[in-house]
């Protein structure tokens, strides 16, 4: 089956079947990921009051930083959409340009998050300080790890688009990367609505 995918891009019928199957398989993985995030949100909701005499969200979070991270991720989700459209139109250089822009925006998000984490740890509010902070770093850190993996994946797919062109397997992989990237933006909507905004209220 895997030999089919790499060998004959001209053979349309089985190729698109394989694409559908893999899209479903990846969709099932994303649903599993959604359960993981749901349970981390639940853990955070239970632990948020357990500050053990340490700082609470109000003293630690920055509304501007959260707004900037939100903007970067939302714009990057849209630019990925434009990359998907360009791949459907068969415009290779446009796909590469949009993927590169998506990567830069995503990297900006990860940079802001790491800066925030380091600032908190430096101020004595690391994950070992309280149950609240353990839950915070686990939830937000899991999301940040996903975004970082997505960045590596964007680089890999940019390389494939550059060297292999927009063959059917490459477009199919781009489609699944798109599902992953848009899914991470949905998880972030949960994070700013459950963690940052209520914490700063």
Q: Which residues bind other proteins (CB under 8 A)?
A: 20, 23-24, 27-28, 31, 34-35, 38-39, 41-42, 45-46, 63, 66-67, 70, 74-75, 77-78, 81-82, 84-85, 88-89, 179, 182-183, 185-186, 189-190, 192-194, 197-198, 200-201
Smallest gap from residue 41 Cβ to other proteins (A): 7
| Residue number with CB closer to other proteins (34 or 100) | 34
- Determine the angle formed by the axes of helices 12-47 and 168-191, rounding to 10 degrees: 20
| Residue number with CB closer to other proteins (132 or 192) | 192
Smallest gap from residue 137 Cβ to other proteins (A): 20
Dihedral sign, Cα of residue 121, residue 125, residue 128, residue 132:
negative
| Residue number with CB closer to other proteins (110 or 197) | 197
Please tell me the distance from the alpha carbon of residue 168 to that of residue 54, in angstroms, as a whole number: 54
| Residue number with CB closer to other proteins (52 or 201) | 201
% helix, strand, coil for the chain, step of 5: 85, 0, 15
DSSP state of 52: T
Smallest gap from residue 43 Cβ to other proteins (A): 8
Asked if residue 139 lies in contact with residue 195, where contact means CB atoms within 8 angstroms, the answer is: yes
Smallest gap from residue 15 Cβ to other proteins (A): 17
Longest dimension (CA), the chain: 65
| Residue number with CB closer to other proteins (31 or 114) | 31
Smallest gap from residue 194 Cβ to other proteins (A): 8
Query: No. of H helices and E strands in the chain?
Result: 8, 0
Please tell me the distance from the alpha carbon of residue 91 to that of residue 111, in angstroms, as a whole number: 30
């Amino acid at each position: 089956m895997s030999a089919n995918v790499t060998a004959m891009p001209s053979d349309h019928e089985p190729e698109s079947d394989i694409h559908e199957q893999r899209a479903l398989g990846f969709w099932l993985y994303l649903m599993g990921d959604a359960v993981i995030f749901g349970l981390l949100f639940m853990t955070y909701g239970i632990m948020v009051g357990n500050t053990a005499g340490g700082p609470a969200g109000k003293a630690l979070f920055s509304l501007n930083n959260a707004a900037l991270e939100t903007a970067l991720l939302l714009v990057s989700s849209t630019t990925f959409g434009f990359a998907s459209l360009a791949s459907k139109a068969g415009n290779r250089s446009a796909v590469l340009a949009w993927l590169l822009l998506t990567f830069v925006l995503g990297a900006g998000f990860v940079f802001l998050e790491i800066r925030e984490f380091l600032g908190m740890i430096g101020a004595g509010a690391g994950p070992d300080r309280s149950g609240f902070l353990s839950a915070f770093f686990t939830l937000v850190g899991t999301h940040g790890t996903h975004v970082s993996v997505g960045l590596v994946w964007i680089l890999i797919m940019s390389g494939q688009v550059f060297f292999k062109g927009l063959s059917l397997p490459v477009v199919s992989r781009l489609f699944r990367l798109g599902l992953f990237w848009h899914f991470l933006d949905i998880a972030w909507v949960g994070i700013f609505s459950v963690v940052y905004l209520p914490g700063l209220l």
